[in-house]
Amino acid sequence: MADLVAVWDVALSDGVHKVEFEHGTTSGMRIIRVDNKEVLHRNWMFKLVGREHFKIGAFKASINIDASGGFSYEYTLEVNGKTLKELREQRSKTAKVWLPVIEGYEFRIVLEKDSMDVWCNGQVLETAGEFVDDGTETHFTLPNGLACYIKAVSSGKKKEGIIHSLVINDNEIPETLE
């Protein structure tokens, strides 16, 4: 870990992944770890700049290595062809995330608005949709057996669109910004 040059936290539907990158600036050695597991290891590379491809779960990722003057380098992470900033902006529009703590257990619940998939702690849950007077409810059961739902209602404003709320035990859980 002496050549650790970059660490990124990447929030995806199945969880927040930690990506670590080691780069030997004299040997060209490159090591990529995802969630503390080595996914790429190259020794003695003559080309010190370039791009390394790997996967974060089901997503394609790459690290770009660019010279920034002298013997210093700039490292950027891309996921599915998007920079980390672009990915975060897109996810803020296409996903809702809640992090409730229930009876001492932490849950990470994610709604993928484009597919209406509901994830809990890295697993897709079985859901049942229901139309109600003011919108829809997507019902599911948490791994601890607790039934809950995500309510979708119109904001009444075109720019805001649909408002999604997680309800557990008749309590609305505040959304988390990642």
> What digits encode the pLDDT tens for the residues 86-137?
999 999 899 999 999 998 999 999 999 999 999 999 999 999 999 999 999 9
pLDDT digits (tens, 9 = 90+) for 3-40: 899 999 999 999 999 999 999 877 778 999 999 999 99
| Domains, the chain, with CATH or none | 4-80 (2.40.128.180), 93-173 (2.40.128.180)
Q: Residue 71: which of 98, 104, 93, 49 has the closest Cα?
A: 49
Alpha-carbon distance 149 to 166, whole Å?
6
Alpha-carbon distance 20 to 9, whole Å?
9
